[in-house]
A = this chain, B = another copy of it.
Amino acid sequence: MRCLRRLAKYESGEERNVKNICVTLQYDGSRYDGWQKQGNTDNTIQGKLEAMLSKLFEQEIEVHGSGRTDAGVHAVGQTASFAVNTVLGPAKIAEQMNSYLPKDINVVDCKIMDARFHARLNAKRKTYKYRLCTGNVRPVFGRQYVLWHPQELDLAAMKKAAAYLVGEHDFRSFCGNRHMKKSTVREVYEVSFEETVRKEGDAEYPELVISFTGEGFLQNMVRIMVGTLLEVGTGARKPEEMKQILDGKNRELAGAMAPAHGLTLWKVEY
């Protein structure tokens, strides 16, 4: 019905400028209740975007993200699509959006897509990164984006454990939604570990960054995988337990969920 009305508008000339836009967004999730809109008490990224766009373009605009990010999780490459009736080109749309967005959200890319493109339905691969500061001294700068974890970690054991997660599995044990009715089978393409040192003046902050690439992730899945890998790293669990955790299909078997602020949605590929 809605489509037919749109078609009629288009034929009448009123909607000839309807564009399907895909934006790449960066946000500091610290002060938000996550991506997904929440009715009235709205303090979400999606909610902020829709309110701003609807006001800016004087039309109701629905924004589709590539997926939800939890409260406190950041993004350097979240994608979102929306249809808008405007004569503006993509560069101007991005500029307008940035001039109205709060300081902790911005648009770094804006493209016109085919009318059928949908940021969630067409997403093929997603990458998340979890940053851990592993030194003895708690970091001051950028502390909002890393988890300080000064205990020693057995990286070899963590890598061994992570290998169990790669491939297509039922990740029910790693799903934060215990009443999930849809399939909990996902394919994880890669889990990789990178050790770096961040310098701030003469002080050095060693970091361990764990990257997860997959076709998609369940609610809280990356944070539960990180929490479980940390339990392996500190010796509280053996790497081989990962198999039993997966096979058990029970959230109780996996480890604690790692804090949100260490996690960043890095990239969405189409």
Residues of A bordering B, CB below 8 Å: 24, 26-28, 74, 76-77, 95, 98, 103-109, 136-143, 145, 200-203, 266-267
Contact = CB atoms under 8 A, between A and B. Distances in A.
B267 A105 contact: no
A63 to B, nearest CB: 18
Contact of A141 (B24, B26, B138): B26
A250 to B, nearest CB: 35
A18 to B, nearest CB: 26
So how many copies of this chain end up in the complex? 2
Contacts of A24: 202-203
A234 to B, nearest CB: 20
A141 B266 contact: no
Contact of A202 (B27, B74, B77): B77
A100 to B, nearest CB: 12
B104 A140 contact: yes
A206 to B, nearest CB: 13
A107 B142 CA distance: 16
A201 B267 contact: yes
Given A106-B137, A141-B145, 4 more contacts: A24-B203, A103-B138, A104-B140, A108-B202
B141 A76 contact: yes
Nearest to A75: B201
Contacts of A98: 137-138
A136 B98 CA distance: 10
A98 B200 CA distance: 17
B203 A26 contact: yes
19 contacts: A26-B200, A26-B201, A26-B203, A27-B140, A76-B141, A77-B201, A77-B202, A98-B137, A98-B138, A103-B138, A103-B140, A103-B143, A104-B140, A104-B143, A106-B139, A106-B140, A108-B137, A141-B145, A201-B267
